[in-house]
Structure 1
Amino acid sequence: MSADLFIFAGEPSGDLHGEKLLKELYAENPKLKVQGVGGPKMRAVGMECLLPMEEFQVMGFIDILSALPKLRRHFKTLKNHLLKHPPKAVISIDYPGFNLRLANALRKAKSPAKRIHYICPTVWAWGKRRIPKMERSLDQLLTILPFEPDLFSKHALSATYVGHPLISRIQNHPYDPDWHRPFGIEKETLLLSIFPGSREKEIIKNFPLQLRVAKEIQQENPDLTLAISCSNEALRPLIEKEDKNLIIIPENKTYELMRATHLAIATSGTVTLELALHEVPTVVTFAISPLDVFIAQNIFRIDLPHYALPNILHRGELFPELFGPNFTAGALHKHLSRFLESEVNRSQVRTACKALKTHLGKKNAGVEAARIILEILND
């Protein structure tokens, strides 16, 4: 039996956005039948999962190459399922390399399903050569960055800014005032927090050096307490492997930790924008191989002045970035020390974070996206 909707999310940030979207869709129509690919959050809301999100998680160009056989098998499985049991609409969330190919395959096979992509591919990074393919493959694009619809103004593809999902998620979060007690943290403690990532390979590649430098900084600044965010309990052993005595904060207290954090180290990803929206001075790291850097810059022609999302939105360096060969112990130590030594620097970052929040606006992305999707379904 065909579903009303098929939703695909191939990575943790997509699972987060998909959870909110599903809640809004079910609120409007509790009888909606939804199938798809998602993570624990989307599965918990009630989506019938054909394949788990974890099957699609890769990091870096080299990982993608090694995962290609598995991804091709999954692509064929999903394509055949969607052609045999066409839903009214296919909603793909981010993960553009896979999702745009799937949308194009459905178009070529003349599937009746409407093709909606939620979260615009970074055409401003990859180059506008992707736009014609998107124009052919998609019926609707829902963007979460305010400048993105303008990129499509001269094209036939309808692109609508729905707001950033993190805005309403943070605004509606029920902060626990006593969150710190179980971890032995005093309320006025100055926290140096590490957000090492939500994927196994992110943690393996980034966390050991992040932790080493954080401990050096802590020794030089005894008033600091070190805390580690664990966004996925399955990955806790990777953190404990480095030090069993660390203060580890579980995923359900992430925003409490951010609100209380004085200074942060974060692996590049959605978490950097969450930290910016909590106005936390942060140093961003991303450990990738020299070969990945070469492929990105010379084959895919990715050459941005900034890579962390807060910096892209700020159009300048809001958070220091340490990517690839620039991610060294010395560089991380230098940037953390500069923040710690200067209240002026920290204050400037907090002011810029406030401006960034204003720029993103107050739209509820889940509500707006659900409204547009249901309009398309009912058209």
Structure 2
Amino acid sequence: MTEAGKELDVFIVAGEESGDQLGAHLMDALVAMHEGGARFRGLGGSRMEARGVVPQFPMAEITLLGLTSIVAHLPRVLRRLRETVAAIAAAPPDVLVLIDSQGFNARVARSVRKLLPNLPIILYVSPSVWAWRPGRAQRLKGAVDHILALLPFEPEVHRKLGGPPCTYVGHPISERLVELRPGPAEIARRNASPPQVLVLPGSRKLEITRLSDLFGQVIARTEAAAGPFDWVLPAVVRHRRLIEREVSGWPVKPRMVTTDDEKFAAFRSARAALACSGTVTLELAVAGVPQVGAYRTGWLEAQIARRLITAETAILANLVIGRKVVPEFLQEFATVEGLTNALLAVIANGPARQVQLNGFAEIDAIMDFDGKSPSRKAAEIVLAVLAERRSRA
């Protein structure tokens, strides 16, 4: 470890909104836990910037979704990759923490390892080796010292695949349980009329544009079949204008909310949800909201995915529970009729709804929500890896 009382120099890279949140909480924990405090350099979003990170370039420049998007912006991404590696090599930190953004950060790790073989490198968020391209686990073994996993089954997956040491530190959702769990009045609202139903078309631009028309038709069909409903759409602030344009053509207009407080209040009161596959499916499950999941990607990405993906489900809540309790509709199977029928089934009292509620009741034990906060566990491992590396130097 660094000398007692000496400030820790951390280079930290996050390329997604979720990574920015993880990075901010980790920064807070490192400052609190390291005797000399810590200073930070690297790349992140508004939360990490508020804690002292001055980004070399906007985080959005490496936030890409889909093969066609990556190909179109490849020269820029490669330039930013070289700039990031050069900044690390020019002034080596005490430790390098790479958060999510797997394609970008795995390349950063391999490049930095060649230049600075003794620098401790931590990867925060495991790549989805359990879903596709399992060979990535073994390739990461020489590039990173430790992986901090958000999902409880990931350490065992890396062990079997020959990956780096991996520890389950917990999911950041565990730090928002109070915001997600309903109180008595909110439970009563879930059973009141008109039922409140959430519409969640995604947090990324391409997700929103690909699912918007479909979701608009589904809520119109659901409203016609069993309405009225109180439709609520929690919108990502940075995409609010895009979402407003997309929703303007919907036959049934949902109420739009944009703040975290409004979003979680809606989660606590909602009876059901129509959601884009992603982290939000686990948030909904923790909040006890039965849901229907959907996802659409581009044709080329879909063809590649069908050949590479090995996971039996794309719904995060299903992966954590270990079986399919949330119905999912992917690509051409994401139809208006199929989604409408599934949504009506989970809104009504009946077997489809109860199966999900029974599954969601298992999540607390599976994810160890009564333990330490994920950010504190992550900080402990960062400091331990640093100490071990220093002892071997």
TM-score (norm 1): 0.89
Counterpart CA distance in 2 for 1:308 and 1:302 is 13
The Cα shift of 1:228 comes to 0.5
Instruction: Please say if 1:355 is aligned against 2:362.
Output: yes
The Cα shift of 1:133 comes to 1.1
Find runs of 4+ consecutive structure 1 residues off by over 6 angstroms.
172-179, 185-188
Tell me what 2:240 maps to. Answer: 236
Write out per-residue CA displacement over residues 211-236 of structure 1, whole angstroms, 9 at most, x where no aligned residue: 221122123223411111112x2211
Tell me what 2:141 maps to. Answer: 135
Are 1:143 and 1:149, in contact at CA under 8 Å, matched by a contact in 2?
Answer: yes
Counterpart CA distance in 1 for 2:195 and 2:10 is 46
- 3-state DSSP class of the match of 1:136? coil
Amino acid at match of 1:282: Q
- 3-state DSSP class of the match of 1:123? coil
Counterpart CA distance in 2 for 1:350 and 1:251 is 27
Alignment of 1:1-379 (within 5 A): 4-29=9-34, 31-153=37-159, 155=162, 157-171=164-178, 189-231=194-236, 233-243=237-247, 246-252=254-260, 253-298=262-307, 301-362=308-369, 363=371, 364-378=373-387, 379=390
- 3-state DSSP class of the match of 1:63? helix
Number of corresponding residues: 370
Counterpart CA distance in 1 for 2:337 and 2:27 is 44
- 3-state DSSP class of the match of 2:339? helix
Tell me what 1:182 maps to. Answer: none
Counterpart CA distance in 1 for 2:215 and 2:124 is 32
Say if 1:189 and 1:170 are closer, same or farther in 2 by CA, change over 3 A. farther
RMSD: 2.6
Are 2:121 and 2:144, in contact at CA under 8 Å, matched by a contact in 1?
Answer: yes
Are 2:99 and 2:125, in contact at CA under 8 Å, matched by a contact in 1?
Answer: yes
Say if 1:274 and 1:62 are closer, same or farther in 2 by CA, change over 3 A. same
- 3-state DSSP class of the match of 2:131? helix
Are 2:40 and 2:53, in contact at CA under 8 Å, matched by a contact in 1?
Answer: yes
Say if 1:317 and 1:186 are closer, same or farther in 2 by CA, change over 3 A. closer
Unaligned 5+ residue runs, structure 1? Answer: 180-184
Say if 1:174 and 1:312 are closer, same or farther in 2 by CA, change over 3 A. closer
The Cα shift of 1:177 comes to 10
Amino acid at match of 1:306: T
Are 1:217 and 1:333, in contact at CA under 8 Å, matched by a contact in 2?
Answer: yes
Say if 1:169 and 1:370 are closer, same or farther in 2 by CA, change over 3 A. farther
Are 1:38 and 1:51, in contact at CA under 8 Å, matched by a contact in 2?
Answer: no
Counterpart CA distance in 2 for 1:79 and 1:73 is 10
Counterpart CA distance in 2 for 1:44 and 1:177 is 36
Unaligned 5+ residue runs, structure 2? Answer: 1-6
Are 1:86 and 1:112, in contact at CA under 8 Å, matched by a contact in 2?
Answer: no
Deviates more, 1:313-322 or 1:165-174: 165-174
Write out per-residue CA displacement over residues 46-100 of structure 1, whole angstroms, 9 at most, x where no aligned residue: 3222222211121122222212111111101101111111111111112222211
Write out per-residue CA displacement over residues 305-359 of structure 1, whole angstroms, 9 at most, x where no aligned residue: 1111111222322211111121121221121122234433212211201102221
Counterpart CA distance in 2 for 1:176 and 1:76 is 50
Are 2:138 and 2:163, in contact at CA under 8 Å, matched by a contact in 1?
Answer: no
Say if 1:251 and 1:322 are closer, same or farther in 2 by CA, change over 3 A. farther
Amino acid at match of 1:211: G
- 3-state DSSP class of the match of 1:49? coil
Counterpart CA distance in 2 for 1:325 and 1:171 is 37
Say if 1:31 and 1:110 are closer, same or farther in 2 by CA, change over 3 A. closer
TM-score (norm 2): 0.86
Counterpart CA distance in 2 for 1:31 and 1:110 is 24
The Cα shift of 1:277 comes to 0.9
Are 1:13 and 1:270, in contact at CA under 8 Å, matched by a contact in 2?
Answer: no
Write out per-residue CA displacement over residues 128-187 of structure 1, whole angstroms, 9 at most, x where no aligned residue: 3122211110111111222221233364732211112211233477989999xxxxx998
Are 1:3 and 1:33, in contact at CA under 8 Å, matched by a contact in 2?
Answer: yes
Deviates more, 1:310-319 or 1:154-163: 154-163
- 3-state DSSP class of the match of 2:238? helix
Write out per-residue CA displacement over residues 20-47 of structure 1, whole angstroms, 9 at most, x where no aligned residue: 2222223335841111221223223332
Say if 1:127 and 1:292 are closer, same or farther in 2 by CA, change over 3 A. closer
Counterpart CA distance in 2 for 1:199 and 1:106 is 29
Amino acid at match of 2:199: I
